[in-house]
Amino acid sequence: MGIFDFLSGQFIDVIHWVDDTRDTMVWRFEREGHEIKYGAKLTVREGQAAVFVHEGQLADVFTPGLYMLETNNMPVMTSLQHWDHGFKSPFKSEIYFVNTTRFSDLKWGTKNPVMLRDPEFGPTRIRAFGTYTIRVTDPARFLSEIVGTDGEFTMDEISFQIRNIIVQEFSRVLAGSGIPVLDMAANTADLGKLVAAEISGTLAEYGLTMPELYIENISLPPAVEEALDKRTSMGIAGDLGKYTQYSAAEAMTAAAKNPNGGGGMGAGLGMGMGMAMANQMAGQGPWGGAAQTPARAASPTPPPPPVEHVWHIAENGETKGPFSKADMGRMAQGGEITRDTFVWTAGQDGWLRAEDVAELAQLFTILPPPPPGS
């Protein structure tokens, strides 16, 4: 056996890569001395690309298929190598396999709140998070711009940079969209597509593309969410007086369930409710009739002072108040309220115009009524 036959048998003639991981983007085919025999078989599977680097210079990129490493399918390599010995000598090159499938279920999120000007709430801070997919579309550019000489490049090594790009573009797109915060949930799909489109130019410089970007949640600060919950509760309750009564009843119920907590608060509330019931039953006897006359007549209880009403006004779809009657008088003199201003007070059946409320109508008698036909 000649020396050339001996050397030829020492070099591998089958080159391929089977990926058993879920995050490897680039893997370098390892061979001592990087010596590859002329005529070796190269297998590139679906979802892969093979990049040849010869003497530090990118030579050829092979798409899926089976190749014989010869001059007829390696034009660039042939011009670089300048073989003149019948192409029977081994050549030294590095082969990088690039995973071109989609890497999915990758997470992104805003590390710090995003400031924006909401048309309804004014300056507001929001947070958001979601998922995205990434894919290598230009193996040569990705290898030269990102990977370099890394023999095993994983998704974790670039995910942080991609997340920063997403957050930057998301903040810019969201701040300039003009979409109210309360309407963003209905537009997350469009926002995701818009952000992905804005990112595509930057990722193309890396040889990457982002097929999908999903926004799973957009949230407000806890204080704003609490205020929204209260506003929603008031809208459901409708009548402010009934809402107040409902809240008080809920508080008493919660206190009664915990009689030992709060320093005897539950017991005190129970005693107060018992006394109220006793006062209601004071005018009735044990059998439902009139109570027996006590031996000594009790002094008559003076009538309670009249309760002064406080008023709420409706203006431009918003509620203002409460205002005392004196406040309403000053507002009538200043022209802040008119006869047609809608007002409401506890016990009143719905909103009424000020001139239709006897207690407030007198505030406008010092002013002339509107001229006829106005």
Side chain identity at residue 192, one-letter code: G
Structure token pair of residue 336: 């802040």
Helix or strand holding residue 359 (H, E)? helix 358-361
- The pLDDT of residue 286: 46
- The pLDDT of residue 30: 78
Q: State how far the Cα of 283 lies from the Cα of 213, in Å rounded to an integer.
A: 73
CA-CA-CA-CA dihedral for 353, 356, 362, 367, to nearest 10: 60
Sign of the alpha-carbon dihedral angle for 35, 36, 37, 38? negative
95 located within any domain: yes
300 located within any domain: no
- The domain tally of the chain equals 3
Residues 114 and 211 in one domain: yes
Strands (DSSP E) found in the chain: 14-15, 24-29, 35-36, 41-44, 48-54, 57-62, 65-68, 91-92, 94-99, 103-109, 114-118, 122-136, 152-154, 208-219, 311-315, 318-323, 342-344, 352-353
Domain edge (last residue) among 223, 252, 282? 223
- The pLDDT of residue 214: 92
Structure token pair of residue 173: 């797109």
Which DSSP symbol is given to 288? S
- The pLDDT of residue 243: 65
Tell me which residue of 189, 124, 76, 274 sits closest to 197, measured CA to CA. Answer: 189
CATH of the domain at 210: 3.30.479.30
Q: State how far the Cα of 257 lies from the Cα of 266, in Å rounded to an integer.
A: 8
| CA 328 vs CA 337, 351, 362: distances in Å | 8, 16, 11
Taking only the tens place, the pLDDT of each residue in 322-352 is 888 888 888 888 888 888 899 888 878 888 8
Domain edge (last residue) among 223, 240, 272? 223
Beta bridge partners of 208: 136
- The pLDDT of residue 223: 80
Taking only the tens place, the pLDDT of each residue in 231-270 is 777 666 555 666 677 677 777 777 767 656 554 555 555 5
Residues 85 and 115 in one domain: no
Domain edge (last residue) among 200, 223, 246? 223
- The pLDDT of residue 135: 94
Sign of the alpha-carbon dihedral angle for 232, 233, 239, 241? negative
Beta bridge partners of 15: 42
179 located within any domain: yes
Taking only the tens place, the pLDDT of each residue in 24-35 is 999 998 766 556
305 located within any domain: no
DSSP per-residue codes, 233-264: HHHHH-SHHHHHHHHHHHHHHHHHH-TTSTTT
- The pLDDT of residue 304: 66
pTM: 0.55
CB 80 within 8 A of CB 64: no
371 located within any domain: no
Q: State how far the Cα of 136 lies from the Cα of 139, in Å rounded to an integer.
A: 6
- The pLDDT of residue 164: 92
| Angle (nearest 5°) at CA 84 between 80 and 86 | 115
- The pLDDT of residue 58: 83
Cβ neighbours of 339 (radius 10 Å): 16
Residues of the chain with pLDDT under 70: 1-12, 31-35, 38, 70-92, 234-243, 246, 256, 258-300, 303-307, 366-371, 374
Percent of the chain with pLDDT over 70: 70
